[in-house]
């Protein structure tokens, strides 16, 4: 199986091109005004021009108003929505787009029970809980909690870097991974070398896990 890669918090066309060249599957665009990685619709239009088909543009929202999401969709060619707040399933399903529902992994969260509240989510993104931030903190959580049996695929997030992604995937066995601060120079400014190294590390893990599986099946 090939692990899906999403690089989040892209703020300019140059960084988007780097992400595409590195082989990532998705680009995350922050529409949360309190984020240091917030982008305007005009920025997204410029970014979209650098992104070819088959690379998803993911719009990330935190408890938005319905009209805020629609205003973005009217002008920006998003393929997937990601909701990072307390949005209801009815709200998330109301825009005619596939959606990812984020879970902030506090000790009180049971991922399996939580997933039942959004049965039509295309995937669940499990991120580190921080009371003061919605993602992008650079902090990890206990990766084994991502081995939950959910109704949709799991995307692992929270403090992932090229150095720890192999271990994170081995522990979590996640379907996809998402990084933002782990491939940055400063918030909102990506590091091309870190992006390339992150994507290489994921693909290396994929190859090794495939080779290990093939070896086990041959005995």
Among the listed residues 92, 127, 178, 199, the single catalytic one is 127
The question of whether 211 is a catalytic residue gets the answer no
The question of whether 92 is a catalytic residue gets the answer no
Among the listed residues 8, 25, 178, 199, the single catalytic one is 8
Residue 1: name the closest of 143, 219, 205 by CA.
Answer: 205
User: 158-163: long-range contacts at Cβ-Cβ below 8 A with a sequence spacing of 24 or more?
Assistant: 158/105, 158/126, 158/127, 158/128, 159/128, 160/198, 161/194, 161/198, 162/194, 162/197, 162/198, 162/200, 162/201, 163/201
Q: Residues with catalytic annotation?
A: 8, 127
């Amino acid at each position: 199986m090939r692990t899906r890669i999403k690089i989040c918090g892209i703020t300019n066309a140059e960084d988007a091109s780097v992400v595409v060249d590195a082989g990532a599957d998705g680009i995350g665009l922050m529409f949360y005004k309190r984020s240091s990685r917030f982008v305007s619709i005009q920025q997204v239009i410029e970014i979209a021009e650098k992104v070819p088909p088959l690379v998803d543009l993911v719009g990330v929202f935190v408890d938005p108003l319905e009209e805020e999401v629609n205003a973005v969709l009217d002008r920006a060619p998003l393929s997937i929505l990601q909701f990072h707040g307390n949005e209801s399933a009815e709200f998330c399903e109301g825009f005619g787009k596939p959606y990812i529902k984020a879970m902030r992994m506090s000790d009180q969260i049971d991922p399996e029970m939580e997933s039942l509240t959004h049965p039509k989510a295309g995937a669940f993104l499990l991120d580190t809980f921080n009371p003061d931030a919605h993602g992008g903190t650079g902090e990890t959580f206990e990766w084994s909690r991502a081995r939950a049996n959910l109704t949709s695929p799991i995307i692992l997030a929270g403090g992932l870097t090229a150095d720890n992604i192999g271990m994170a995937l081995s522990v979590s066995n996640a379907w996809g991974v998402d990084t933002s601060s782990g491939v940055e120079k400063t918030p909102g400014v990506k590091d091309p070398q870190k992006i390339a190294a992150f994507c290489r590390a994921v693909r290396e893990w994929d190859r090794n896990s495939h080779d290990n599986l093939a070896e086990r099946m041959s005995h």
